[in-house]
């Protein structure tokens, strides 16, 4: 028997041994990978026959047989991703199957008189095909994940938009229960999360931090620009560089109010610091409107006269701000500003003299607080 006939005989014998090898593959997959629970024996059998064909083509045609064929195989394997099989499990089970086939073919080559050199060459070609196919699988998986993430992002954004608009009909509640595992009998609170300061993390790092804390029926969120918007059952465990603003707990039907409060809390100067922030904490600051016509009025009353008098406006206004923050205590404010109380008295006096506004007047104090909040947002 010449070399070609011996190789053909061994390959035919491999095909005949296929059912026995398949039983071994099925037993291994069922015992090793719980993620294959939803994958039927028929589907695994089809993939195994595909693997035998791939090995035979690798031996006959070379280590990269018909690249388009490998890509077609990978597209078929994509169904495993859709059934929830991780790419790692898919590749490991595939490698196990290829190993059984390669070992069996080596044994059959020897039995049919194929030379050791040709047998070793064929073995290497099979594993080269395996490496090429694994790379194709990873590429297809990445494409699948990109499409899946894009689709999920769109669905989450649409769901959050429906909640924010108050358009919570029966269809939205069904989506909440079936897709996001939310409970319609529980209260949730809207939230807005953001990275602050000079943190090295990005919005995707923030998403990775928050999502594990809302798995189950505890919430849902989506990236919206440079922040994350969503609903949650409980406040988050945050870290440095992360600010989360919350609305009040509400049922899903009324969650739009909570999401709006969270949005307004997130705009305050208080939310520019790390941690969890609530309406009770930021108080009146949520009412400050940067588009209000009094912005120019307060600039004209409190800053422009200082500029015209060639006084250090920033330092003077900062002193006034700290004085009010410390409940008009010269001693406490001076300590914070690292100056003598008399120095602070002089600055406050100059502010009153130049602007004609007394910081001890209630109306002026309220206006100044409003102005300082607006300036803090700008900073």
Distance, in Å, from the CA atom of 294 to the CA atom of 352, rounded to the nearest integer, reads 20
The yes-or-no verdict on residue 65 having pLDDT over 80 is no
pLDDT, tens digit (0-9, with 9 covering 90-100), for 67-90: 567 777 776 777 777 777 888 888
C-alpha distances out from residue 258 to 92, 188, 288, Å: 47, 8, 18
Backbone angles phi, psi at 330, to 5 degrees: -65, -40
Residues near 200 by Cβ (< 8 Å), separated by ≥ 6?
none
Our CA angle for 251, 152, 173, nearest 5°, is: 25
Tell me the pTM.
Answer: 0.64
pLDDT, tens digit (0-9, with 9 covering 90-100), for 319-347: 999 999 999 999 999 999 999 999 999 99
pLDDT, tens digit (0-9, with 9 covering 90-100), for 96-120: 999 999 999 999 999 999 999 999 9
What DSSP character marks residue 302? I
pLDDT given for residue 379 in this prediction: 55
Question: With contact defined as beta carbons under 8 Å apart, do 184 and 217 qualify?
Answer: no
What DSSP character marks residue 287? G
What DSSP character marks residue 237? -
Residues near 321 by Cβ (< 8 Å), separated by ≥ 6?
368, 372
In this structure, the strands spanning 242-246 and 275-277 are parallel
C-alpha distances out from residue 372 to 209, 270, 336, 376, Å: 33, 12, 17, 6
In this structure, the strands spanning 219-224 and 275-277 are unpaired
Beta-ladder partners of 168: none
pLDDT given for residue 97 in this prediction: 94
């Amino acid at each position: 028997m010449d070399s070609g006939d011996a190789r053909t005989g061994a390959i035919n014998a491999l095909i005949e041994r296929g059912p026995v090898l398949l039983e071994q593959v099925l037993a291994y997959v069922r015992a090793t990978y719980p993620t294959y629970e939803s994958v039927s024996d028929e589907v695994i059998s089809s993939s195994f026959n595909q693997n035998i064909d791939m090995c035979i083509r690798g031996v006959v045609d070379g280590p990269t047989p018909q690249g388009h064929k490998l890509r077609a195989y990978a597209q078929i394997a994509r169904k495993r991703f859709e059934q929830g099989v991780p790419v790692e499990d898919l590749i490991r089970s595939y490698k196990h199957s290829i190993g059984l086939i390669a070992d069996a073919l080596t044994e059959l080559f020897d039995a049919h008189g194929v030379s050791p050199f040709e047998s070793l060459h064929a073995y290497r070609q099979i594993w080269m095909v395996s490496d090429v196919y694994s790379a194709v699988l990873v590429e297809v998986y990445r494409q699948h994940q990109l499409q899946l993430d894009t689709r999920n992002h769109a669905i989450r954004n649409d769901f959050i938009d429906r909640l924010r608009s108050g358009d919570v009909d029966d269809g939205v509640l069904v989506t909440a229960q079936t897709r996001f595992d939310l409970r319609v009998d529980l209260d949730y609170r809207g939230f807005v999360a953001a990275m602050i300061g000079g943190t090295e993390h990005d919005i995707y790092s923030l998403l990775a931090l928050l999502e594990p804390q809302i798995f189950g029926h505890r919430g849902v969120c989506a990236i919206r620009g440079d922040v994350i918007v969503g609903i949650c059952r409980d406040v988050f465990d945050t870290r440095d560089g992360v600010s989360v603003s919350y609305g009040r707990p509400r049922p899903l039907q009324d969650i739009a109010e909570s999401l709006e409060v969270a949005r307004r809390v997130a705009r305050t100067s208080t939310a520019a610091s790390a941690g969890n922030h609530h309406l009770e904490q930021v108080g009146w600051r949520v009412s400050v409107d940067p588009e209000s016509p009094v912005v120019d009025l307060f600039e004209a009353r409190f800053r422009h006269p200082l500029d015209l008098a060639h006084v250090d406006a920033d330092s003077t206004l900062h002193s006034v701000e700290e004085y009010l923050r410390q409940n008009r205590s010269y001693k406490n404010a001076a300590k914070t500003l690292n100056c003598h109380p008399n120095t602070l008295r002089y600055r406050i006096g100059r502010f009153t003299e130049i602007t004609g506004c007394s910081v001890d007047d209630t109306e002026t104090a309220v206006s100044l607080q409003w102005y300082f909040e607006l300036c803090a947002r700008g900073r």
